[in-house]
A and B are shown apart, each in its own frame.
Chain A
Amino acid sequence: MAGFEPGSLPDLLPLYYRRLFPYGPYGRWLSYGGVVKNYFQRREFSFTLRDDVYVRYQSFNSPQELEKEMQKMNPYKIDVGAVYSHRPSQRNTVHMGAFHAQEKELVFDIDMTDYNDVRRCCSSAEICSKCWILMTIAIRVIDRALMEDFGVRHRLWVYSGRRGVHCWVCDDSVRKWSSAMRAATVEYLTLVKGGSETVKKVNLTDPIHPFISNSLSLVEPYFEEYALVGQDILGSSESWEKVVALVPESVRESLLREFPKKHDSIQRWELLKKKMEKCKPCHAEWEIMLQYCFPRLDINVSRGVSHLLKSPFSVHPKTGRVSVPIDLRKLDQFDPFAVPTISCLCSELDMAHEEEDGEKENEAEPEPRRRTRDYKKTSLAPYVRVFEQFVEEMDKSRKGELLKRSDLQGDF
Chain B
Amino acid sequence: MEFSREKRLKARLAGDRRGDLYPHSLQFYLQPPTENISLAEFENFAIDRLKLLKAVENLGVSYVKGSDEYKSRLEREIRKLKFPFKALVEDDYDARRKDHISHFILRLAYCQSEDLRRWFIQQEMDLFRYRFNELTGDLVEKFLKYVNLSYGAISKEVKEKLAVQLLNSTPGLNGAKVEELEFYKVPLQEAMDLFRVRRVYLLNAFTYVPQTDIVAIVLNNYRTKLSKALALTARSLPAVQSDERLLPLLNHLSHSYVGPDYSIQKSIGKISLEHIDALSVKSFPLCMRQLHRALRDNHHLRHGGRMQYGLFLKGIGLTLEQALQFWKSEFIKGKVDADKFDKGYAYSIRHNYGKEGKRTDYTPFSCMKIILSNPPSQGDYHGCPFRHSDPELLKQKLQSYKIPPTGITQILELVKGMHYQLACQKYFQLTHDVDDIGFSLNHPNQYFAESQKLLSGGREVKKEPSEPESSQQKLSSQKSTSSCSIPISSNTEADTELEGLDAYFTED
Contact A187 B188 (CB under 8 A): no
Q: Bound complex: CA of A150 vs CA of B227, how far in Å?
A: 23
* Interface flag for B325 (CB, 8 Å): no
Contact B205 A151 (CB under 8 A): yes
Residues from chain A with a CB closer than 8 A to the CB of B189 are 177, 181
Q: Mark A142-164, 1 if CB is under 8 A from B, else 0.
A: 00000011111000000000000
Contact A211 B198 (CB under 8 A): yes
Residues from chain B with a CB closer than 8 A to the CB of A185 are 196
Q: How many of chain A's residues touch chain B, expressed as a range?
A: 20 to 34
A150 with B196, Cβ < 8 A, contacts A97-B237, A207-B168 known: no
A188 with B196, Cβ < 8 A, contacts A210-B165, A210-B201 known: yes
Contact A97 B204 (CB under 8 A): no
Q: Mark A182-207, 1 if CB is under 8 A from B, else 0.
A: 01110110000000000000000001
Tally of contact residues, B, Cβ under 8 A: 27
Residue of B171, B193, B204, B237 touching A148 (CB-CB under 8 A): B204
Residue of B168, B188, B195 touching A213 (CB-CB under 8 A): B168
Residue of B169, B171, B227 touching A210 (CB-CB under 8 A): B169
* Interface flag for A208 (CB, 8 Å): yes
Contact B202 A188 (CB under 8 A): yes
Residues from chain B with a CB closer than 8 A to the CB of A95 are 238
* Interface flag for A209 (CB, 8 Å): yes
Q: Bound complex: CA of A150 vs CA of B192, how far in Å?
A: 12
Task: Please give me the residue from chain A that is nearest to B111 by CB atom.
Answer: A97
Contact A184 B204 (CB under 8 A): no
Residue of A100, A152, A183, A209 touching B198 (CB-CB under 8 A): A209
Task: Please give me the residue from chain B that is nearest to A207 by CB atom.
Answer: B168
Contact A150 B169 (CB under 8 A): no
Contact B196 A184 (CB under 8 A): yes
Residue of A100, A151, A178 touching B204 (CB-CB under 8 A): A151
Q: Bound complex: CA of A183 vs CA of B223, how far in Å?
A: 15
Q: Bound complex: CA of A100 vs CA of B231, how far in Å?
A: 10
Q: Bound complex: CA of A177 vs CA of B223, how far in Å?
A: 14
Q: Bound complex: CA of A183 vs CA of B192, how far in Å?
A: 10
Residue of A152, A184, A210 touching B168 (CB-CB under 8 A): A210
Contact B169 A184 (CB under 8 A): no
Q: Bound complex: CA of A185 vs CA of B202, how far in Å?
A: 11
Residues from chain A with a CB closer than 8 A to the CB of B168 are 207-210, 213
Residues from chain A with a CB closer than 8 A to the CB of B234 are 97
Task: Please give me the residue from chain A that is nearest to B207 by CB atom.
Answer: A149
List residues of A whose CB falls within 8 A of some B CB: 95, 97-98, 100, 148-152, 177-178, 180-181, 183-185, 187-188, 207-213
Query: What are 11 inter-chain pairs, A to B, with CB distance below 8 A?
Result: A97-B238, A148-B204, A149-B203, A149-B204, A150-B202, A151-B188, A151-B205, A185-B196, A207-B167, A207-B169, A211-B169
Q: Which 9 A-B pairs have the closest CB atoms?
A: A151-B205, A184-B196, A151-B204, A187-B196, A207-B168, A149-B202, A209-B198, A184-B192, A210-B165
